[in-house]
Structure 1
């Protein structure tokens, strides 16, 4: 599979994960745009693409800068980082709303958990 197809598959899987998380966590809401090009699914695809870009660009920098806290808390600070990245995505998008720190932490944890499960099941990464 080419890199572009693999990235598109990751975004689609992430859109499904975000859809599930919005159903499980009451403080995370995606406001769909039924008149958009792809309808309501397009809104979830847009939010997933934005979250993937934030996670790819900002995520490594934040994780590197907070490495002492991650080590000190035995990795639990990564929940705060995931919540911050989800909050940043919500700040950049007018379609995603995250109300409260608790909802962001639970949502970030569920997105990370479901993404990890999806990577185990689907061929989303380039293998050597």
Structure 2
């Protein structure tokens, strides 16, 4: 349990520093970053599979490239619900979702050992 908490705190720090270097992403503070990470985890767990199912024909026709659009939609959904988190454009939330995914994967290698 403590590994999950540490993992989310480190991802929140990565998100906070990433928002300083990605020009279209604004996060007010560390508490907002933690809320963004928790909301992104929730959205990726529950909303993203629904969006993938609904957009399956478009994803097939685009040879999987529509999944990038789904990632951006998920970031915009989190932007709508979290106050203090602002997203503009298409490329910044795409980069943001890549940074979040890569950092989560790398931290998973270290913290999810059984």
- With structure 2 as the length reference, what TM-score do the two structures score? 0.81
- Alignment of 1:26 with 2:23, yes or no, is yes
Equivalent residue runs for 1:112-127 within 5 Å: 112-120=101-109, 122-124=110-112
Unaligned runs of 5+ in 2: none
Divergent runs of 4+, >6 A:
none
- Higher helix fraction: Structure 1 or Structure 2? 2
When the two structures are aligned, how many residues end up with a matched partner? 114
- Alignment of 1:88 with 2:80, yes or no, is no
What's the C-alpha RMSD, in Å, of the aligned pairs? 2.1
Greater RCO structure (CA 8 Å; 6+ sep):
2
In the alignment, the residues of structure 2 paired with residue 65 and residue 92 of structure 1 have an alpha-carbon distance, to the nearest angstrom, of 22
What is the aligned partner in structure 2 of residue 8 from structure 1?
A: 5
- With structure 1 as the length reference, what TM-score do the two structures score? 0.73
What is the aligned partner in structure 2 of residue 111 from structure 1?
A: 100
Equivalent residue runs for 1:22-61 within 5 Å: 22-32=19-29, 41-61=30-50
Unaligned runs of 5+ in 1: 33-40
In the alignment, the residues of structure 1 paired with residue 42 and residue 82 of structure 2 have an alpha-carbon distance, to the nearest angstrom, of 12
